Amino acid sequence: MSFIELDDGIGGTGRAAIGPLSDHADLLASAADGAALPCITDEHVWKLHGHLLKDIIAVDPIFVPRGEAAKQWNILISLIAALAARSHPRSRPFLALGGGSVGDVAGLAAALYMRGTPVIQIPTTLLAQVDSAVGGKTAIDAEGQKNLVGTFHSPMLVLADPALLATLDRRQMRAGAAEIVKYGMIADEGFFRWMEAHGETVIAADAHACAEAAQQCIRMKADAVAGDLRDEKGRRALLNFGHTFGHAFESVAGLGTLLHGEAVAAGMVLASQFAAATEYCAPDVPKRLVQLLDRLGLPTNLGALGLAGKGTTLLPHMLRDKKSDGRTATLVLPERIGEARLLRAVDEQRLRAFLELA
């Protein structure tokens, strides 16, 4: 079995492996050190896949609600309480088994509990396997804003088993595919082409194609994170392509209404159309992106998100984005497929005019 090294650039090292969970029985047993490992998860995932862990080690599930509803203050508090009730020691990791929402709130609990406890991420959605389980961004939502509260806390281990995706519904698989397309757009035209050829196979949960996608995305993400864990230097920010619009869509629709990947899909399209309208890229860039996302059954405009006519309501949310200086919007814009750049202090009049027509 081979690992992808996750060096967070500030002294923390972790590892990611793609393949059957059962291959890691020894590693998990040594992490457990004879105790039952707390496992933060949701009841649906636990019923489907908890047995894979129970076959290997003693695990003690701690449940959170499904989906975005897990990323709330009261859930975070309940996790800290559950760990304290178990006298869980700081030296021993606990597990996060689930999609990106479980991973985000469990990661935040790990960062806070006893000022930092190791966490092993076991992602069970396509999106979490290709993106969220790696990189150490942890978060809950607050004040109606996505990921308003969080930390950077890198996982000690990420175990992504593509076989677990067989039970995931198609809508969730599509949402994960959006983040995969993102990697092609920002960093690798060859990988974008690979998605043009294999995207449907990925969405059908073909284990080989999903493993290949995870391998490529995790490598690209590890590379961006190693140089800029805390998202300060503009390098990691490229991973936020589609998210200034996307998070605004999620907020306007009501957090938890749209899937994150759906919002990111349409967000990438709007960012690319804005880039083309302002001559940062050629018009064929949004065109080719829309063709691929359409084929993968992902939304590519406000109407498809149920937000027709809501363009200008997005602006205040975009100005609150973490990349913003508080006065102006910052956008990740494609220059061509496979290359993106950060544009700070986006002209508000231009952006407003663009949103009015979106």
Ligand X SMILES: O=C(O)C(=O)C[C@@H](O)[C@H](O)[C@H](O)COP(=O)(O)O
Residues 236-275 that bind ligand NAD (CB under 6 A): 259-261
Which of ligand NAD, ligand X, none does residue 240 bind (CB under 5 to 8 Å by kind)? ligand X
Question: What is the spatial distance between Cα 219 and Cα 236, in angstroms, rounded to a whole number?
Answer: 13
Q: Is the CB of 147 or the CB of 151 nearer to ligand X? A: 147
Examine residue 250 and tell whether it contacts ligand X (CB under 6 A). no
Select from 53-61, 80-88, 130-138, 343-351 the region that touches ligand X (CB under 6 A): 130-138
Residues 51-90 that bind ligand NAD (CB under 6 A): 66-68, 71
DSSP 52-121: HHHTTS-EEEEE--SGGGGSSHHHHHHHHHHHHHTT--TTS-EEEEESHHHHHHHHHHHHHGGG---EEE
Residue among 38, 61, 135, 162 that touches ligand NAD (CB under 6 A): 135
Examine residue 187 and tell whether it contacts ligand NAD (CB under 6 A). no
Residues 287-316 that bind ligand NAD (CB under 6 A): none
* DSSP E strands, the chain: 3-7, 13-18, 37-41, 59-63, 94-98, 119-123, 137-142, 145-152, 157-160, 329-336, 339-346
94, 114, 191, 338 from 84: Cα distances, Å:
13, 9, 44, 46
Residue among 88, 198, 243, 320 that touches ligand X (CB under 6 A): 243
Strand pairing partners for 145?
A: 142
Residue 247 is among the residues annotated as catalytic for this protein: yes
Residue among 8, 131, 161, 262 that touches ligand NAD (CB under 6 A): 131
Residue 51 is among the residues annotated as catalytic for this protein: no
Q: State whether residue 40 is helix, strand or coil.
A: strand
Residues that bind ligand NAD (CB under 6 A): 42, 44-45, 48, 66-68, 71, 98-102, 104, 124-125, 127-128, 131-132, 135, 137, 146-147, 164-165, 167-168, 172, 175, 259-261
